[in-house]
Chains A and B, each alone.
Chain A
């Protein structure tokens, strides 16, 4: 059992390295800017979903309010950049830090709640954040912030001529989120989280400090999501509350993980790799009419996948080699 587990983890690491190498060489073949754009978004959502999965998948605390952390990351970076000229790299870390602190501050009362009460509380807190930012004059209120263009440079993390730097950063972020998950999966935290998810009372009686382990998961998850938000803001060069803090972001972060396999290492990546290109392609090929056909197709696919594979797409792989499954 243990040997298999160790072997599986080594295998996961090798697969990840191969996939990263493949992804990193993709721009050599893909010159089309539109497709590069889709790749960037796919990697970003993979990273976000991977981060969401840490709290909601592994630790079992379903949050539909992660748009809050995403927005905080985006806004911290851009407010620091446009108002005080602080480089986005520092803004990014500051945003991640603030998001993590807020996540822990909120966790203090939130983690007492169970089930639907918790989920609705997460939705509501993100909605409060959205409304506050929409009414915060200094931060641009509902109009948002347009980020000044100060030329292409890694220093300022702005690139006008090419999307490739964004692509590599998104890839790096995705690898980071994956690696953090991979590393945590086998740490004491990973075991605590799964115990907390399956049976909090039993976990507590065995000496797991349930509350602290939830807090840890929330902080890591929020930090990574906020970095993603900072990236997204630089990528779009324009942010407004609805486009970085809207409820749809919370759902879009959760969706790849759920479709791919919630609480699994590969679920978010797999889900994002299928879902995001699908979203973008339906939007641009059938959505042009503005008549909602793209929504119909997209919604139908979501219904179909969630009904057909309730444990996510990774369950297909697990099924094909059922005997090797030792979890």
Chain B
């Protein structure tokens, strides 16, 4: 479960953590990715795991469009840019939820046990449901990929430089909007991947994103802004804490443990575990 939280958080780690843009619609990105893989399954009988790359590609385009047509302008605000970003993306989230209600109806939907659903794998005597295992592997791959991407490629360096000083990167010939649009696309594609995998074992409904979004923020902040590895570690910690709290407290209180750990961590280390900002 922790790795799944990590998978949802990894896209946010890129947008929120590395580019320092608040995205309150992250949960809704997840929601539409889940719907996308649901419909690909229902109408074209494509297994969510196979459709994951398709969903990710579609989400890449969507993320880039959201940046170019909306977020770009929110970032241009001279005064209280933070609040403008929060409420622009919050407004977007409301619109997306409304659209989902309009077109997909508020009904709960789920994908029947698919190719990989329902089976379990036994590793050294521990039985794991297969979808979770696949999710965990994808999550590790996504983090490793993003880490290498940010630290080993020119684009990753350009992204970090753009956040640090948009004026200076313009002088060396980097187009800020292209870099950020690509970053948003990539962030959305990662959450698309998460959505496709989560669609297998969670109910899909218009408000589904909200329940995961807050945990994703907490995961990113727990790990520390500006650190891909931090978000990964954050995801694992959140998963473990949730499992432990679920043992000790009634299930309805399981998130309290996660929140308490976040508060504890930032009180001791105000920059999160591995944060650089």
Binding site for B on A (CB under 8 A): 62, 64, 109, 112-117, 120-121, 123-125, 127-128, 131-132, 134-135, 247, 251, 254-255, 258-259, 262-263, 290-303, 306-307, 310-311
Contacts and interface: CB of A to CB of B under 8 A. Distances in A.
Contacts of B158: none
Contact of B255 (A120, A127, A290, A311): A127
Interface in B235-262: 250, 252-253, 255-256, 259-260, 262
A292 B92 contact: no
Given A124-B218, A300-B95, A258 B263 contact: no
Interface string B67-81: 000100110011111
B217 interface: yes
Contacts of B90: 251, 302
6 contacts: A291-B105, A292-B100, A293-B102, A301-B91, A307-B88, A310-B78
B83 A296 contact: no
A300 B80 CA distance: 20
Interface of B: 16, 22, 70, 73-74, 77-84, 86-88, 90-102, 105-106, 206, 214, 217-218, 221, 225, 250, 252-253, 255-256, 259-260, 262-263, 266-267, 270-272, 277
Contacts of A293: 98, 102
Nearest to B250: A135
Nearest to A251: B90
Contacts of B95: 295-296, 299-300, 303
Contacts of A124: 214, 218, 259, 262-263
A117 B221 contact: yes
Contacts of A258: 80, 83-84, 87
Given A115-B82, A116-B22, A296-B102, 20 more contacts: A109-B267, A117-B221, A127-B255, A128-B256, A254-B83, A258-B84, A292-B99, A292-B106, A292-B206, A295-B95, A295-B101, A298-B98, A299-B91, A302-B87, A303-B95, A306-B74, A306-B83, A306-B88, A306-B91, A310-B77
A132 B260 CA distance: 12
Nearest to B16: A116
A299 B93 contact: yes
Nearest to B267: A109
Nearest to B85: A306
Contacts of B84: 258, 306-307, 310
Nearest to A132: B256
B262 to A, nearest CB: 6
Most buried by A among B88, B91, B102: B91
Chain B contact surface mostly: helix
Nearest to B262: A124
Given A124-B218, A127-B214, A292 B97 contact: yes
B256 A302 contact: no
Given A113-B270, A291-B101, A255 B256 contact: no
Given A121-B266, A131-B255, A302-B90, A296 B217 contact: no
A121 B271 CA distance: 12
Contacts of A306: 74, 83-84, 87-88, 91
Contacts of A311: 77, 79-80
B221 A62 contact: no
A213 B56 CA distance: 47
Given A113-B266, A125-B263, A310-B81, A303 B252 contact: no
Contact of B97 (A115, A120, A295): A295
A299 B256 contact: no
Nearest to B74: A307
Contact of B91 (A109, A116, A131, A302): A302
A115 B105 CA distance: 37
B150 to A, nearest CB: 19
B91 A300 contact: yes
A112 B92 contact: no
A294 B206 CA distance: 14
